[in-house]
């Protein structure tokens, strides 16, 4: 399954499939990007981050891809599990040294057993 960030705020995938959640950003000077997962009634939980000098970073079952040319960030979740159901936010630091993270509005991922 695949979503296009702010324009498709929900994504449903079958358990075991791979998920791709997309995020567009507007500031070409943005230096640092983070993906967070938020489950109902809880605070955002850090998943993975990437700096602007990288185009790919892998974690456990997750991969973040950064395309600076088109200012696009994606989160790939391999073998999606029911426990992955949550809202996923991308966040960016607008410039080096800034003290604010700017968050997107999120994508709700629903895993269908």
Partner 1 sequence: NAGVTQTPKFQVLKTGQSMTLQCAQDMNHEYMSWYRQDPGMGLRLIHYSVGAGITDQGEVPNGYNVSRSTTEDFPLRLLSAAPSQTSVYFCASSEDLIGNSPLHFGNGTRLTVT
Under the binding rule (CB under 8 A), the answer on residue 27 touching partner 1 is no
Strands in the chain per DSSP E? 10-14, 19-24, 32-38, 45-51, 56-58, 62-67, 72-77, 86-93, 102-103, 107-112
Under the binding rule (CB under 8 A), the answer on residue 81 touching partner 1 is no
Tokens 């269908």 belong to residue:
112
Binding mask 40-79 for partner 1 (x = CB under 8 A): -xxxxxx--x------------------------------
Is residue 78 within 8 Å of residue 93, measured between CB atoms? no
Identify residues 82-101 at the interface with partner 1 (CB under 8 A). 89, 91, 93, 96-101
Residues at the interface with partner 1 (CB under 8 A): 31-32, 34, 36, 41-46, 49, 89, 91, 93, 96-106
């Amino acid at each position: 399954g695949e979503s296009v960030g702010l324009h498709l705020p929900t994504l449903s995938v079958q358990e075991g499939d791979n998920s791709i959640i997309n995020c567009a950003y507007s500031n070409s000077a943005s230096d640092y990007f983070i993906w967070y997962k938020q489950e109902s009634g809880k605070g955002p939980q850090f998943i993975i981050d990437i700096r602007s000098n990288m185009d790919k970073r892998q974690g456990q079952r997750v991969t973040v891809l950064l395309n600076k040319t088109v200012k696009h960030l994606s989160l790939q979740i391999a073998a999606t599990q029911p426990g992955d159901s949550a809202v996923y936010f991308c966040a960016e630091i607008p410039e080096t040294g800034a003290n604010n993270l700017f968050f997107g509005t999120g994508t709700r991922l629903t895993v269908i057993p």
